[in-house]
């Protein structure tokens, strides 16, 4: 299984990617998580990404394609992967096709999770993340066992870019730059659009159904 999970900020990509990776035993590759880890470690990539991530803008394509190229070359990705939040621009999609073609591979499916805008803001603003294990919770929709603390014991944090203002900026970027990918993957015949407004379990079932249809 080699697939892309697309969708606006807060749509549930990370939540669903984790479920798909458990189900199929493939690698979860989140460019957002990779940029946050790079920023936390103070690496060169982190320094390049920071100003963009803080403002809710896209990190330049060359930097982003570079980290994905490196990540896909790691052994655990040879079994398959779910790309979460990449590609986000047409040049990134072209770059990905090129990377895969270089190894004689291609994508099996692109699943687009659609959620109404008001709900996206509620999901993102109430999101709390564990810096220790990367697990994602929600104050209302998926609360941790103890307020403020992850099941691993880590202290939950609010992502600095999950303020209502920055979420709206990220949504605008999504409409301007990322939505065009819908056409790109529809033309390739691998796009599956899923209604993401139900519960995580409902969305998981819809995605599983969409993926089955891909392998027919
Ligand atoms: P994305 O990776 O697309 O930004 P996440 O998976 O991080 O989205 O989900 C955003 C927030 O919404 C998280 O706090 C998550 O717990 C919550 N969430 C995810 N899926 C659902 C859902 N189907 N219904 C309600 N809340 C959800
Ligand atoms: P969300 O889960 O809410 O959609 P992510 O965690 O995927 O957000 O991404 C957080 C930030 O990381 C983005 O706003 C952007 O600055 C940067 N980023 C992540 N993926 C990409 C990408 N494919 N291209 C450019 N920037 C990216
Ligand atoms: Zn944790």
Q: How far is the CA of 216 from the centre of ligand 2 (A)?
A: 32
168 assigned to active site: no
Say which ligand is closest to the CA of 10: 1
Is the predicted pLDDT of residue 216 greater than 60, yes or no?
Answer: no
**Using CA positions, which residue lies closest to atom 10 of ligand 2?**
32
Handedness of CA 203, 166, 179, 53 (dihedral sign): negative
134 within domain boundaries: yes
CATH code for the domain in which residue 207 is found: 3.40.50.300
User: What is the per-residue pLDDT for 134?
Assistant: 87
User: What is the per-residue pLDDT for 176?
Assistant: 97
Instruction: Give dist(CA 47, CA 42) in Å, integer.
Output: 7
- How many other C-beta atoms are found inside a 10 Å radius of the C-beta of residue 183? 11
162 within domain boundaries: yes
User: What is the per-residue pLDDT for 214?
Assistant: 67
Of 61, 75, 39, 19, the residue nearest 160 (C-alpha)? 39
Instruction: Give dist(CA 176, CA 8) in Å, integer.
Output: 11
46 within domain boundaries: no
Which tens digits make up the pLDDT trace of 107-122?
A: 999 999 999 999 999 9
44 within domain boundaries: no
Which tens digits make up the pLDDT trace of 192-205?
A: 999 999 999 999 99
pLDDT-derived band at 213, boundaries 50, 70, 90: confident
User: What is the per-residue pLDDT for 215?
Assistant: 59
* Ligand 2 pocket test target in 39, 58, 114 with most atoms within 8 Å of CB: 58
132 within domain boundaries: yes
Catalytic one of 36, 48, 88, 135: 88
Averaged pLDDT, 118-139:
94
User: What is the per-residue pLDDT for 212?
Assistant: 87
71 assigned to active site: no
What are the E-state strand segments in 33-84?
81-84
Catalytic one of 50, 159, 168, 177: 159
Is the predicted pLDDT of residue 185 greater than 90, yes or no?
Answer: yes
Q: How far is the CA of 146 from the centre of ligand 3 (A)?
A: 12
Pocket of ligand 2 (CB under 6 A): 9-10, 13-14, 31-32, 35, 52-53, 56-59, 64, 85-88, 92, 124, 161, 170
Cα Rg of the chain, angstroms: 16
The pLDDT mean for the chain works out to 95
- Model's pTM, two decimal places? 0.95
- Is the CB of residue 15 less than 8 Å from the CB of residue 132? no
From the CA of 88, give the closest atom in ligand 2.
23
Averaged pLDDT, 66-76:
96
**Using CA positions, which residue lies closest to atom 7 of ligand 2?**
32
88 within domain boundaries: yes
161 within domain boundaries: yes
Counted domains in the chain:
1
- Is the CB of residue 178 less than 8 Å from the CB of residue 6? yes
pLDDT-derived band at 131, boundaries 50, 70, 90: confident
129 within domain boundaries: yes
Which tens digits make up the pLDDT trace of 141-177?
A: 999 999 999 999 999 999 999 999 999 999 999 999 9
């Amino acid at each position: 299984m080699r697939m892309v999970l697309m969708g606006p900020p807060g749509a549930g990509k990370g939540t669903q990617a984790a479920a798909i990776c458990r189900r199929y035993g493939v690698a979860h590759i989140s460019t957002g998580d990779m940029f946050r880890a790079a920023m936390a470690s103070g690496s060169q990539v982190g320094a390049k990404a920071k100003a963009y991530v803080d403002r809710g803008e896209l990190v330049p394509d060359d930097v982003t394609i570079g980290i994905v190229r490196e990540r896909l070359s790691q052994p655990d990705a040879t079994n398959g992967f779910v790309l979460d939040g990449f590609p986000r621009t047409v040049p990134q999609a072209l770059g990905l096709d090129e990377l895969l073609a270089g190894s004689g591979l291609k994508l099996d499916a692109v699943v687009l999770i659609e959620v109404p805008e008001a709900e996206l803001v509620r999901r993102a603003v109430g999101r709390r993340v564990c810096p220790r294990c990367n697990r994602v919770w929600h104050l209302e929709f998926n609360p941790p066992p103890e307020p403020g603390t992850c099941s691993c014991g880590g202290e939950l944090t609010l992502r600095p870019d999950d303020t209502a203002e920055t979420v709206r900026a990220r949504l605008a970027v999504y409409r301007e730059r990322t939505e065009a990918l819908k056409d790109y993957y529809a033309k390739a015949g691998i796009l599956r659009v899923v209604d993401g407004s139900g519960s995580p379990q409902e969305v998981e079932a819809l995605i599983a159904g969409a993926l089955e249809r891909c392998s027919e």
